[in-house]
């Protein structure tokens, strides 16, 4: 299905506010964070849309919000849709979609680990890439590099400094 007709089909089935955002690489669906589960449920269960797979999920820190991307794919109809919502950096909380897509479990854990977004209803929201006692979320733009971790000196050497990109 074409991107445009996906949007129209979705709009005819729900009263929730949907926004169609166009950028240089095609349209994306913007929704409010509280509608996330409702919209994704609709996208998954509707037979004409049939988005049965959450193929990618991540976030991006764009002060003052964190934008969360959900890339859905339909193995039935072979079409893709990028859905995103924005949560404030101060209180980055959104509902988990693990109940809908099993693959979301680890993807959300990674987003939690690296960007500090809390997914309510997630069965095991723990750090996945970094150690449990790590402080901070490295993929945030204001992340300060740790100077020392459990006795390991992490300060950049003089040689490293000379290669720092401007």
Coarse DSSP helix, strand, coil percentages of the chain, rounded to the nearest 5 percent:
25, 30, 45
Residues 44, 55: contact at Cβ < 8 Å?
no
**Residue 1 CB, nearest distance to another protein (Å)?**
14
**Residue 144 CB, nearest distance to another protein (Å)?**
13
36 or 57: whose CB is closer to another protein?
A: 57
SS3 162: helix
**Residue 23 CB, nearest distance to another protein (Å)?**
3
Q: Which two tokens stand for residue 67?
A: 């934008």
In sequence order, which residues have a C-beta less than 8 Å from that of residue 96 and are 6 or more positions away? 104, 108, 119, 120, 121, 122, 125
14 or 127: whose CB is closer to another protein?
A: 127
**Residue 34 CB, nearest distance to another protein (Å)?**
22
48 or 76: whose CB is closer to another protein?
A: 76
15 or 148: whose CB is closer to another protein?
A: 148
Q: Report d(CA 102, CA 139) in Å as an integer.
A: 24
The phi-psi region of residue 11 (left if phi > 0; otherwise alpha if psi is between -120 and 50; otherwise beta) is: alpha
Binding positions for another protein, rule: CB under 8 A = 23-26, 28, 52-56, 58, 60-61, 69, 71, 75, 78, 80, 82, 84, 101-103, 105-107, 114, 127-131, 138-139, 165
């Amino acid at each position: 299905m074409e991107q445009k007709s996906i949007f129209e089909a979705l709009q005819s089935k729900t009263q929730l506010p949907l926004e169609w955002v166009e950028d240089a690489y095609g349209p994306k669906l913007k929704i409010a964070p509280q509608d996330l589960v409702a919209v994704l449920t609709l996208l998954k269960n509707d037979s004409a849309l049939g988005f049965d797979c959450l193929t990618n999920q991540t976030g991006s820190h764009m002060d003052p919000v964190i934008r969360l991307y959900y890339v859905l794919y339909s193995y039935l109809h072979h079409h893709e849709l990028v859905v995103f919502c924005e949560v404030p950096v101060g209180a980055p909380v959104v509902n988990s979609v693990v109940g809908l897509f099993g693959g979301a479990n680890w993807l959300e854990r990674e987003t939690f680990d690296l960007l500090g977004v809390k997914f309510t209803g997630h069965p095991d929201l723990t750090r996945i890439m970094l150690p449990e006692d790590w402080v901070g979320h490295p993929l945030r733009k204001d992340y300060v590099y740790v100077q020392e971790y459990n006795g390991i000196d992490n300060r950049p050497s003089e040689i490293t400094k000379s290669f720092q990109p401007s």
